[in-house]
Amino acid sequence: MKKGVSEVISWVLLLGFSVLLGTTVILWSKQQTEKYTDELTEMVENDINCRDVIYTINANCTTKTTSVNNRGSFTIVKFIIRTNLSSTTLDTAITPSSTVNLGIPATYYPPNNNGGFDMIPFIEVNNKKIGCTDKARRGICKS
Q: Are residues 90 and 120 in the same domain?
A: yes
More confident residue, 74 or 48: 74
Chain centre distance of CA 86: 20
142 has pLDDT over 70: no
Are residues 127 and 63 both part of a single domain?
yes
Q: Is 31 found in the same domain as 76?
A: no
Does 67 share its domain with 93? yes
**Residue 75: CATH number of its domain:** 2.60.40
76 vs 36 pLDDT, higher one: 76
| Full residue range of the structural domain in which residue 79 is found | 54-139
pLDDT digits (tens, 9 = 90+) for 74-107: 999 999 998 877 888 999 899 999 999 888 887 7
- Average pLDDT for residues 41-65, to the nearest whole number? 83
Question: What predicted TM-score, i.e. pTM, was given to this entire model?
Answer: 0.67
Looking at residue 17, what is its pLDDT? 94
**Arithmetic mean of pLDDT over the chain:** 85
State whether 67 and 134 are in the same domain: yes
Q: Give the distance between the most distant pair of CA atoms in the chain.
A: 98
Nearest to 125 by CA among 7, 16, 44: 44
Q: Is the pLDDT of residue 68 over 80?
A: yes
For the cut 80, the answer to whether the pLDDT of residue 113 exceeds it is no
Contact 142, 60 (CB under 8 A): yes
**pLDDT confidence of residue 87:** 86
Say what the pLDDT of residue 45 is.
Answer: 75
Domain count, the chain: 2
